[in-house]
């Protein structure tokens, strides 16, 4: 409150009505200005006390609220790998770790894509691809993991991905995924069977030949001589051949009935790719 001194005059003095009117107007103007000044000062103090501002300390952001003197740390990303390489067909894990997420959400999106839409928000998957999911884990110290999982990754999945926090200030980090093509399988031949066989017991050997393309044939040799399955030559020898599309292999079985010591020796199978395997019986 303020006290204002006004001149004392006789009301019935000559010209007193005009003087009193002038004094009243001046007093009203003074009181109004003082009131506005005080009110503005209060409002400035209120705004200052309620004011929120952000300050950077190293890499960590804080919200300062002066009214209740509390400090609320803002979300921040932790350092993780920014380049991930996997082979085609394997599972890719794109890392994203956040501290002090609070009530905000983490979202993943793929950059430079045709649609450029979100892949995930929180743990919800926004795309139809069934090979995408989010691995969410809570750790100590207000740290949480929001890793993007891509199963059976393909070459077209290669590119830049963005992990971001939904906030007024855009916080984001990037991970680049490189998909390596698998080298074609090399031609290979595997020969299996018993190395020691009693007299009159059968010798049973199997030759499994694989390659980028299924071999067309397999030949058998004993001590460097090609085996002839014609009955007039070797009536006790039976060779069967078949193809496995599932295993991408050509398989041949060699069976020799009623064995004798003359059947001992080194057996070799050779695929049409000129790959060989041997076994001494």
The answer to whether 89 touches 182, Cβ cutoff 8 Å, is yes
Q: Is 124 helix (H, G, I), strand (E, B) or coil?
A: strand
Per-residue pLDDT at 77:
93
C-alpha distance from residue 225 to each of 222, 250, 264, 266, 273 (Å): 5, 22, 13, 10, 19
Per-residue pLDDT at 244:
86
Per-residue pLDDT at 68:
52
Query: So where are the chain's domains?
Result: 76-180, 188-280
Nearest-angstrom CA–CA distance, 97 and 89: 25
Does the domain at residues 76-180 carry the CATH identifier 2.60.40.10? Answer: yes
The answer to whether 267 touches 278, Cβ cutoff 8 Å, is yes
Q: Do 76-180 and 188-280 have matching folds? A: yes
Nearest-angstrom CA–CA distance, 90 and 86: 7
C-alpha distance from residue 108 to each of 167, 175, 216 (Å): 14, 10, 49
Residues of the chain with pLDDT under 70: 1-70, 113, 115, 231-233
- Please name the helix (run of DSSP H) or strand (run of DSSP E) that holds residue 43, with its range, or none: helix 16-50
CA 270 to chain CA centroid, Å, is 45
Per-residue pLDDT at 69:
52
Per-residue pLDDT at 169:
73
Superfamily (CATH H level) for 188-280: Immunoglobulins (2.60.40.10)
* Whether this model's pTM surpasses 0.85: no
Per-residue pLDDT at 71:
74
Per-residue pLDDT at 210:
86
Q: What is the dihedral of CA 162, 77, 103, 141, to 10 degrees?
A: 150
């Amino acid at each position: 409150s303020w006290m204002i001194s006004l001149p004392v005059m006789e009301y019935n003095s000559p010209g007193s009505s005009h003087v009193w009117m002038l004094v009243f107007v001046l007093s009203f103007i003074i009181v109004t200005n003082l009131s506005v000044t005080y009110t503005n000062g209060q409002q400035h103090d209120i705004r200052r006390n309620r004011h929120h501002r952000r300050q950077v300390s190293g890499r960590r952001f804080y919200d300062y609220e002066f009214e209740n003197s509390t400090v609320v740390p803002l979300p921040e990303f932790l350092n993780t790998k920014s380049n991930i390489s996997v082979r085609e067909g394997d599972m890719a894990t794109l890392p994203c770790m956040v501290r002090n997420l609070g009530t905000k959400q983490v979202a993943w999106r793929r950059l430079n894509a045709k649609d450029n839409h979100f892949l995930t928000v929180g743990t919800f998957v926004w795309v139809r691809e069934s090979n995408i999911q989010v691995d969410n884990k809570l750790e100590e110290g207000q740290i949480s993991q929001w890793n993007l999982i891509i199963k059976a990754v393909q070459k077209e999945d290669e590119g830049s991905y963005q992990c971001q926090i939904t906030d007024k200030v855009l916080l984001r980090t990037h991970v680049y995924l490189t998909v390596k093509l698998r080298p074609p399988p090399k031609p290979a031949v595997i020969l299996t069977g018993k190395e020691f066989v009693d007299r009159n017991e059968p010798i049973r050997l199997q030759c499994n030949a694989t390659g980028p393309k299924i071999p067309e044939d397999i030949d058998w040799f004993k001590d460097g001589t090609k085996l002839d399955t014609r009955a007039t030559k070797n009536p006790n020898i039976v060779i069967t051949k078949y193809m496995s599309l599932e295993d991408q292999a050509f398989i041949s079985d060699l069976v020799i009935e009623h064995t004798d010591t003359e059947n001992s020796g080194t057996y070799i199978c050779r695929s049409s790719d000129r790959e060989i395997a041997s076994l001494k019986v």
